């Protein structure tokens, strides 16, 4: 079988001397048959076929390579497009379980070889473009651009199936493709910058569609990364016209059981939320579908996933609220932001894993800002979470406690009439934090300690304003018995700020 494959390839390589267009098409058809047949897995015949394909491309003049006759076998641009698709599929990585060990290293070798073939093809396109005797180069490029792009993105990203050599070659292929199409960026290439053809993104999605469905998307581990990376290159105002093509794959990827895929899918959905008009997202109840798909991920105890989900939801809330209308004579209905914050606080209260605590605390201020005065609905649970998080050391950077102090200040600003009845509890929590930081023997950097003391002192000042000067009176007794200079300094700052204040609200 190997000998037969070698003879077939060599027979194709000897055809450029024949001036018949059908002979040239026949030669490429034989190579195409080889690439899609069972012999494609044999290393010896593969090497011979690639060499003969490069030789065939080099020996064929550009005007013959892109000529288009009336008969089907005379349509060289379409034939070259099919060859490019076959080469791209041939270099695709296998399933993850099949690619372990030496499987992925073989894929990287094949990708480097196929990249050289694509560079030769693109070189012919450039020669045809610069000559005046081959006006059909645009047709040839139109058939080649999609498969070449998919190949380049598949192997230029750092993945298990790539190597430094394959990434270098794939990067050269992508750069050469942008150069020939006169596009300054990938986004320009996809959306039709300096080009009459503005359907490239549609073409790319069409190439990915057969392998990006529920039954087959895991057969090629690269397809999800190519889709995600390509999607995020396209922004307003071009993305909304492709919404029906990009939304189902994004939901499919986010609904997977693997955390890595969930995160990838959520980021795709987040990009859609940011770059599709509100009216299109509200049509056919799409925004609600997005919300429920993303909301369910909040039950997963994976901090990377939670971070991606919360960021996406914060940008989705304004879209969802566009569909709600509040009448001034009735109580405001519970919003999606209320629902999410309630669940977050439920998870935060007993959480002991530091990475998750930091993730929740990092995003909590944004939710308080989003709700504003409606934060009072969650005040009891917020109080418990704030006090509980202020008590726990959070490592050298103290990210969680700093964000909780920021949250406390926002809560006091938005719901200050309800703060005076919580004066004693919050005052104790802030004073305890200041004392703990002042006596902290750990390796916490001084700038971090200073930031904590600054934020806690600002919290005391704000608490004093909410309670109409009661904090100043209570601290005056503490000042008489306190011997720690750091704590005394913070208390004096509160007293100095409060002197001469009139308490008519914040």
What is the per-residue pLDDT for 53?
A: 79
- Pull the structure tokens for residue 487: 């704590």
Instruction: Report the SS3 class of residue 253.
Output: helix
Least trusted range by pLDDT, from 76-90, 305-319, 487-501:
487-501
Q: Residue 132 corresponds to which tokens in the numbers above?
A: 């005046």
pLDDT by residue (tens digit) across 28-48?
A: 777 777 776 655 555 555 555
Please measure the distance between the N-terminal and C-terminal CA atoms of the chain and give it in whole angstroms: 85
Long-range pairs, 27-34, Cβ under 8 A, ≥24: 27/56, 28/56, 28/76, 28/79, 28/80, 28/83, 29/73, 29/79, 31/56, 31/83, 32/79, 32/82, 32/83, 32/86, 34/5, 34/8, 34/9
Percentage of the chain lying above the pLDDT 90 cut: 52
DSSP H helices in 255-285 = 259-275, 278-282
Radius of gyration over every alpha carbon of the chain, rounded to an integer in angstroms? 32
* CA distances (Å), origin 208, targets 80, 140, 201, 216, 291: 19, 20, 11, 11, 26
Nearest to 165 by CA among 177, 155, 151: 155
Q: Which residues contact 252 (CB under 8 A, 6 or more apart)?
A: 212, 213, 214, 217, 265
* CA separation, residue 203 to residues 95, 207, 273, 466 (Å): 24, 6, 23, 60
Peptide bond into 202 cis (omega under 30): no
Report the predicted TM-score, pTM, of the whole model to 2 decimal places. 0.88
Q: Is 388 exposed, middle or buried (0-12, 13-18, 19+ CB in 10 A)?
A: middle
User: Token digits for 332?
Assistant: 């405001």
Q: Can you tell me which residue has the tokens 């267009």?
A: 21
Q: Is the pLDDT of residue 329 over 60?
A: no
Whether 12 contacts 28, CB under 8 Å: yes
Count Cβ atoms below 10 Å from residue 476 Cβ, excluding itself.
Answer: 11
Calpha distance 265→201 (Å, rounded):
19
CA separation for the pair 480, 67 (Å, rounded): 96
For 410-440, the pLDDT digits (tens) are 999 999 999 989 999 999 999 999 999 988 8
Partners of residue 75 on adjacent β-strands? 68
pLDDT (tens digit per residue) in 44-63: 555 556 777 777 887 777 76
How many whole angstroms separate alpha carbon 99 and alpha carbon 210?
21
Please state, in angstroms and rounded to a whole number, the distance separating the CA atoms of residues 57 and 120: 7
pLDDT tens, residue by residue, 443-496? 789 999 999 999 999 999 999 999 888 888 888 877 777 888 888 898 899 888
């Amino acid at each position: 079988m190997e000998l037969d494959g070698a003879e077939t390839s060599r027979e194709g390589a000897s055809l450029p001397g024949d001036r018949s267009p059908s002979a040239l098409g026949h030669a490429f058809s034989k190579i195409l048959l080889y690439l899609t047949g069972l012999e494609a897995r044999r290393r010896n015949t593969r090497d011979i076929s690639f060499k003969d394909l490069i030789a065939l491309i080099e020996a064929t003049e550009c005007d013959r390579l892109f000529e288009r006759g009336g008969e089907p076998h005379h349509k060289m641009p379409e034939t070259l497009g099919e060859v490019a698709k076959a080469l791209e599929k041939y270099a695709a990585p296998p399933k993850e379980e099949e690619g372990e060990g030496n499987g992925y290293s073989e894929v990287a070798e094949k990708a480097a070889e196929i990249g050289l073939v694509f560079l030769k093809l693109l070189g012919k396109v450039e020669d045809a473009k610069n000559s005046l005797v081959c006006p059909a180069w645009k047709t040839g490029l139109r058939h080649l651009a999609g498969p070449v792009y998919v190949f380049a993105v598949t192997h230029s990203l750092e993945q298990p199936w790539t190597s430094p050599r394959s990434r270098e070659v794939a990067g050269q292929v992508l750069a050469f493709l942008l150069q020939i199409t006169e596009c300054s960026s990938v986004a320009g290439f996809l959306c039709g910058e300096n080009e009459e053809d503005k359907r490239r993104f549609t073409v790319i999605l069409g190439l990915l569609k057969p392998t990006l469905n529920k039954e087959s998307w895991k057969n090629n581990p690269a397809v999800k990364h190519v889709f995600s990376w390509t999607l995020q290159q396209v922004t307003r105002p071009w993305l909304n016209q492709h919404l029906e093509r990009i939304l189902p794959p994004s939901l499919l990827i986010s609904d997977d059981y693997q955390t890595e895929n969930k995160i990838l899918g959520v980021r795709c959905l987040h990009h859609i939320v940011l770059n599709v008009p509100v009216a299109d997202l509200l049509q056919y109840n799409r925004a609600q579908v997005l919300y429920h798909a993303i909301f369910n991920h909040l039950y997963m105890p994976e901090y990377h996933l939670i971070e991606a989900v919360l960021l996406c939801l914060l940008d989705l809330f304004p879209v969802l609220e566009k569909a709600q209308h509040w009448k001034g004579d009735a109580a405001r209905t519970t919003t999606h932001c209320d629902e999410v914050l309630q669940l977050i606080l439920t998870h935060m209260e007993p959480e002991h894993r530091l990475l998750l605590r930091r993730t929740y605390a990092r995003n909590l201020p944004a939710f308080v800002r989003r709700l504003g005065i409606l934060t009072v609905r969650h005040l009891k649970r917020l109080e418990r979470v704030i006090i509980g998080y202020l008590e726990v050391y959070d490592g050298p950077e103290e990210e969680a406690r700093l964000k909780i102090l920021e949250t406390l200040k926002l809560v006091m600003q938005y719901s200050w009439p309800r703060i005076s009845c919580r004066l004693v509890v919050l005052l104790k929590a802030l004073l305890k934090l200041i004392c703990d930081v002042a006596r902290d023997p750990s390796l916490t950097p001084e700038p971090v300690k200073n930031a904590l003391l600054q934020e806690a002192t600002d919290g005391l000042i704000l608490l004093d304003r909410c309670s109409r000067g009661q904090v100043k009176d209570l601290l005056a007794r503490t000042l008489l018995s306190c011997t720690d200079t750091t704590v005394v300094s913070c208390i004096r700052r509160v007293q100095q700020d409060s002197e001469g204040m009139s308490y008519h609200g914040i």
